[in-house]
Structure 1
Amino acid sequence: MASSRVPPPPSPLPPRPNLAFRRLRGPRSPAEFAAAVRRSAREIGERVSCDARYVGRVEAGEIRCPNYAYERVFLHMFPGRTLTDLGFAPRSSVRGRGARAAGDTPLAHLTSPARNPIETQEACEPYDTQDPYDTHEHHENREESDVLRRVFMRSGTVTVAAGSLAPQGFPIGAMTAGRPARRPGASEAGAVEEAVRRIRLLDDRHGADGLYRRAAAPLRTAYALLDAGVTRQSIADRLHSGAGELAISVGWLAHDSGRFDDARSHYAEALATARTTGDDALEAHAFCNAAFLARDAGRPREAVRAAQAAQRAARPLGSARLMSLLALREAGGWAGLADRAGCEQALVRAQVLYERGPSDADPEWMSFYGEAELEGLEAQCWSALGDWPRAARHARRAARLQDPHFTRNIALYTAELADDLARGGHPDEAAAAGVRVLELLDQVQSSRIRTMLAGTARVLLPHRRAAEVSAFLERHASLPRTAA
């Protein structure tokens, strides 16, 4: 007797990589290209959420035809070309049920529309509906791993410019013009690691504004080295970790200079790199910075979720100081949600963990995290909750405790103090603190600090008849404008 079961549909064909689109990206990293897409969108009044993962999905052939908004942006970026020239399928071939072959849509897409990119509806958002801050195993599925691997491991040949790890003192390593003279080895991995250290050192002293664009070249080179192929696993691991840390460092420079969309894209790039290699330390760092960015961008609930995801990733690492910092990131999110109880609980946890002291498990990038940073981040929490006297006490302590090497942080904590004093009804003290910040701006270039000072100046305007306040406002008004 014949079986009554319906035979399964044929297996869907694997997507065909979009090589034309990949060529158009050229030597830019996925994050840099995504930033260019967003800038082009703004030029024509469109709004798209393009990031490194979206670029990867296009290049992997998962997005056969973009939605209309992306179509307008791409055609604006590449005038004279059609969608077909950009490597996309004609819209008529992917729209509507009648145009789709039986094998074009896997059965899972029909039974689980919430996770389906649904190309026939031209949905081209960069992320699916899964929670990016949930690190549970059922979200670490094969599809995501394959997508990320295509984005970062097989993105095509990239030109490696000679000395691109050496702008403004970044090390060159064993590089020659064009492609690497040989497969990347220990010297190249060391060059990437040294570039990360150099960026952090310069940021500590001078802030992000003057560094961001220069740091893009080392990041491009780091991913180009991965593209070149590595024979030894130990070197591959170092290069992946170094490239991810470099993406975070460049993302932080974007964050501190007010380029939040660029920062988000770089952090996503680092997170993708971490997940392709199972690097818990890198994943925790990427989520840590994503939490900080979400808080500053006015998305406090996302900040809480990212900080909690960072703690899940960091737990096996055994660093109490790292867990302390991540608890502070969570506290900042709760403060943004005006949840005082949640914030206080996270702050107590951060303090207890911090008091366990340093250990060999503490990541190298946490060199900035000492008692001053602990006080400064707590000050920001109380400020967000509107407790100005408590915020000012912690900010004052932070500025006093900070190592003189960290010029940027001294300016940041003092700017926080000025704002807390101004909002707490102490205009003269606020103006004096503001003047101290202005005196540091010859050495420090940080849009974040300038934005804080501008807010303080607005709060102090009603007190402009006071001599000290007037002097601060005049000096603040004379600040030169900085290029975006």
Structure 2
Amino acid sequence: MTGNFGLKTKMDEAGFTQRELVDAVNGKLREAGEHPTVGDRTVRTWLTGKSCSPHPAKRHALEAVFGCTAEELGFIRPLAERTEEDVHRRKFCGAVTGAAVAVPLPAARRAVGSSDVLRARKGLENLTSLDQARGGHAALEKVALAGACDTLELQQRAATQRIRQRLFSVAADYTAAAAWSCVDARQLDRAQQHLNEALRLAGMAQDITAQMRVWNATALLAHQRREYGEAVAAAQAAQATSITRRDPFFGSLAHARAAVGHANCDDRQSALRSLGHAEDALAKADERPRPGWVAFYGPAELHALAAILHDRVGSPAEAEAASYRALSALPEKYRRNRAMTIVRLALAQLHQGDIDRGCAATADAFALMVGHPLPGRLRVVLGDFHRDLFTLAPTAAVTREWGDRYRSEWSPA
């Protein structure tokens, strides 16, 4: 499994090295009359997430060492210790939808079959819906990782190898959802670790769509890190997956990611060429069923990405027009995406010298996200607007007013 950041955080807070934690846990085991069986390797499996459900005696010793529950340390209770009521009670912390997303677990001795795979996958729909409305946040990441852990437990009792592969695919999607939440929340190191694990699981599943999902998120992560060459490479890896040849819809998304990467590398010609390929491929795409995670993509998202590209290559008027086309086509439920597009529109207006309209446009973005913390990616784009605004008009009254009104809303805590 992916890294256990709960345990790592608690160790950092307490000042424990791995060796010191070994000694502390073994000490608690001795006090309880248990044999001290924890070693450096044991702690490594906890920290890497390979072991997400320690043996009860070790779990109790960990709880005694840190003075908190195993769940607070990032662990999941073993399957046998969970009741059906526990599973159905688990919900997102603070989720406005109130939708439960835990994986329904079958009776402990029954072989896991196709119906269990379908139930496990259904929880992904709730993750996607919440991300569309609110954006990435810690609760989404946590529940996605719990879903992955539950699914990996199920695969140990899979009735056939085919069922086992399908469960690895579901676990890959849960882990990729956790990674995307971290990308959106600007928790970039955690996102990279989740993506590494998601790619491993997708390979075990032999799932080309899940692999495409990971490379798509990897391109976004590289963009957030301003590693633009790597973003292009990830987009090209996405283009190389066979799903892009079977379905031009996925091919369009991969070309669109490459287009933005080329624009960030100041390669105007390659950027426009990739954008053209993305538009051509999307025009050929049919209405076949596709996974929920890719529902965000379509004409509206392609217009939004074109707006980023045109602004990067010095065509702000075209970027403004593309932003308006994106907003006209973007469904209302995609609040985070609409807010991002509005700020991109404001940037395009600002880069044309229209300071008043740019400042006024950002108000709509703040209004869309009212009641929820702004996702990290949105804060970064607002920070770009703030920087460019003060560069272009440092003494203007509208500049001071914008800073006074919104600084506390978009600045990181």
Please say whether Structure 1 and Structure 2 have the same fold, judged by a TM-score greater than 0.5.
yes
- How far apart are residue 38 of structure 1 and its match? 9.0
Quote the offset at 1:342 in angstroms.
1.4
Take 1:340 and 1:190, find their aligned partners in 2: how far apart are those partners?
A: 44
Deviation at 1:408, TM superposition (A): 1.2
**Structure 1 CA distance, aligned partners of 2:14 and 2:233?**
33
Please report how far the alpha carbon of residue 265 of structure 1 lies from its aligned counterpart in structure 2 after TM superposition.
Answer: 1.3
Give the aligned partner of residue 45 of structure 2: none
Distance 1:409 1:415 in 2: 10
1:453 matched to 2:377? The reply is: no
Inter-partner Cα distance in structure 1 for 2:411 and 2:115: 41
Q: Tell whether 2:208 aligns with 1:254.
A: no
Residue 80 of structure 1 deviates from its aligned partner by 5.2
Alignment match, 2:230: 302
> Could you say which residue in structure 1 is the equivalent of 2:3?
32
> Is 1:167 paired with 2:130?
no
**Alignment match, 1:474:** 404
Task: Check whether the contact 2:310–2:319 (CA below 8 A) recurs between aligned residues.
Answer: yes
1: CA distance between counterparts of 2:13 and 2:317? 41
1:199 equivalenced with 2:127 (yes/no): yes
Using the TM superposition, name which of 159-168 and 350-359 deviates more: 159-168
Partner deviation per Cα, 1:270-299 (whole Å, 9 max, x = no partner): 111121232212111111111121122111
Question: Could you say what secondary structure the match of 1:250 adopts?
Answer: helix
- Structure-2 change in CA distance of 1:300 and 1:480 (3 Å): closer
Match of 2:65 in 1: none
Question: How has the CA–CA distance of structure 1 residues 172 and 85 changed in structure 2, closer, same or farther, with 3 Å as cutoff?
Answer: closer
Contact kept in structure 1, 2:165 and 2:204, CA below 8 Å: no
Using the alignment, how far apart are the partners of 1:478 and 1:37 within structure 2? 30
Supply the AA of the counterpart residue of 2:39.
D
**8 A Cα contact 2:301 2:326, kept in partner:** yes
SS at match of 2:280: helix
Counterpart of 1:279 in structure 2 is 207
- Report matched runs for 1:220-369 at 5 Å: 220-226=149-155, 228-315=156-243, 318-360=246-288, 362-369=290-297
Tell me which residue corresponds to 1:87: 41
Gaps of 5+ in 1: 1-29, 45-71, 89-150
Amino acid at match of 1:266: H
Instruction: Show the counterpart of 1:401.
Output: 329
Query: Is the Cα–Cα contact under 8 Å of residues 247 and 270 in structure 1 kept in the other structure?
Result: yes
Count of matched residue pairs: 363
Give how far 1:73 is off.
5.7
Cα distance in 2 for partners of 1:39, 1:416 equals 39
Q: Is the 8 A contact 2:275 2:306 kept in 1?
A: yes
Unaligned runs of 5+ in 2: 27-37, 43-48, 56-75, 93-98
CA RMSD of aligned residues (A): 3.4
CA–CA distance in structure 1, aligned partners of residues 19 and 338 of structure 2: 46
Residue equivalent to 1:65: none
Q: Secondary structure at the match of 2:328?
A: helix
In the alignment, is the contact (CA less than 8 A) between 1:321 and 1:362 conserved in 2?
no
**Mean Cα displacement is larger for which, 165-174 or 397-406?**
165-174
Query: Judging changes above 3 Å, is the alpha-carbon distance between structure 1 residues 42 and 172 closer, same or farther for their aligned structure 2 residues?
Result: closer
Computing the radius of gyration over CA atoms, which structure comes out larger, 1 or 2? 1
**Aligned residue identity for 1:86:** D
Give % identity.
23
Structure ranking higher in helix proportion? 2
**TM-score normalized by structure 1?**
0.66
Q: CA deviation at 1:184?
A: 3.0
Aligned partners of 2:183 and 2:220 also within 8 Å: no
2:40 aligned counterpart, secondary structure = coil
Alignment of 1:62-101 (within 5 A): 74-75=18-19, 85-87=39-41
TM-score using structure 2 length: 0.77
Matching residue of 2:370: 442
What is the match of residue 5 of structure 1? none
- 1:219 is matched with 148
Contact 1:304 1:333 in 2 (8 A): yes
Q: Is the 8 A contact 1:152 1:223 kept in 2?
A: no
